Amino acid sequence: MSAEYKPGSSKAYLVFGFLMFWLCLSVLHALIILISNGPDYLLVVRFFSLELGYLSAKVYFLFSASVTSFCFGVFLYYLARDIKRDNSYRLFEMFKDVVKNSEEHVKDYVEGKFGQISMDQYELSKEFKAFNESAFKTLENMGSVLSELKDFRERLVGQESAIKDLKKAVDDVKVRLSPNYYLTVNSDVAKVVGVGKKTASALKSAGIKRVLELISEDSKVLAEKTGLSESVVTKIQAAAKMLIVPGFDAKVVKTLQRVGVSSLEDLALYSPMELYTCIVRAYGKEMLSFDEVAFYVRAAQLYTSKNAGVYWPLAVAFPEGWAQAKKLS
């Protein structure tokens, strides 16, 4: 090869070399965009400030590579035409091999990058699919748990209602087993049925202020102290003894007195049916139910120690009253 270039052709090769350098930079730029952003990435084509349109990365790369290859071929053609010697031919073949190897290297590099991208996309799709399946199973489990919680809440509501009903029933039993006291031994004597203002004043003048003092005093002695008749004192004492029994109140005592029952002793002698009939006849209507009459009769029998063996369980309902009745008897 004659490595000496003609004087007139060196400038042409310099310009052509600069052009090839610029084209190679364009190919490299296109390759970087293609690898970094993918083949479908769009680039804006501008001519100074004028926007001409959009160009995809793969078209940009192919166009740049084609133009560069064409120019490079033209360059090689003129170079081969000017270099005709054997050494130049060998150099040309060597250069050709280098270009071919470089071309294969670029091809392998690009294919490897695209293969890696495809593999990454495949792995990503597998992971995304597995995540979707896991999320779907989690949602199904949450739906099952919510359904179980709803059923459990409904059972709790039903149990709460049953507990309320049971509590109400227990409270009713407590009320029936533990009647209220209308009077206690420490109550004012003015609250006793049959004791008016004058009678209360007479009793208090005699030092009788509490129910305990009224029922514990002998009727004759109390009649002398107060100036009241013995029959009135006896009736008041009998009414006071009934009113300290749990469950008895002013209405019950007045009802019983109207049918001739003025004391616990008189009440204990009646059968529940007999007394209930007398009350209905006297009032012309039911003032007390049969169950209430039976309760008062049995309480009187208990507190006067009548048939204590038969009605002993009632003592569980009236522990304080039973103790008082035992003391008074």
At 92-111, the pLDDT tens digits run: 677 677 777 777 777 777 67
Q: Tokens 């009647």 belong to which residue?
A: 179
Which carries the bigger pLDDT value, residue 37 or residue 239? 239
Burial of 194 (0-12, 13-18, 19+ CB in 10 A): middle
Separation CA 151–CA 309 (nearest Å):
53
Most confidently modeled of 113-117, 140-144, 180-184, 235-239?
Answer: 235-239
Alpha helix segments (H runs only) across the chain: 10-37, 57-82, 86-177, 197-205, 211-216, 219-226, 230-243, 250-258, 264-268, 272-283, 290-303, 319-328
**Which residues have a Cβ under 8 Å from the Cβ of 156 and sit 6 or more positions away?**
none
Residue 319 — very low, low, confident or very high, per pLDDT cuts 50/70/90?
very low
> Three-class SS of residue 259?
coil
Separation CA 28–CA 16 (nearest Å):
18
pLDDT of residue 316: 36
**298-310: b or e for each residue (b if 16 or more CB lie within 10 Å)?**
bbbbbbbebeeee
pLDDT tens profile 201-216:
988 888 888 999 888 8
Whole-angstrom CA distances from 277 to 45, 153, 242, 265 are: 117, 53, 21, 19
pLDDT of residue 273: 93
Is it the case that residue 323 has pLDDT exceeding 70?
Answer: no
Please compute the mean of the pLDDT values over residues 227-246 and round it to a whole number: 90
> Could you tell me what percent of the chain has a pLDDT over 90?
11
Please compute the mean of the pLDDT values over residues 150-173 and round it to a whole number: 78
Residue 115 — very low, low, confident or very high, per pLDDT cuts 50/70/90?
low
Angle separating helix axes 57-82 and 10-37, nearest 10 degrees: 160
Q: What angle do CA 229, 230, 236 make, to 5 degrees?
A: 95
| Measured distance between the N- and C-terminal CA atoms of the chain, rounded to whole angstroms | 154
Average pLDDT, the chain: 77
pLDDT of residue 58: 81
Question: Contact at 8 Å (CB) between 322 and 302?
Answer: yes
Which carries the bigger pLDDT value, residue 103 or residue 319? 103
pLDDT of residue 120: 66
pLDDT tens profile 262-314:
889 989 999 999 999 999 998 988 888 999 999 999 988 988 864 443 333 33
Q: Name the phi and psi angles at 262, rounded to 5.
A: -110, -5
Which carries the bigger pLDDT value, residue 326 or residue 250? 250
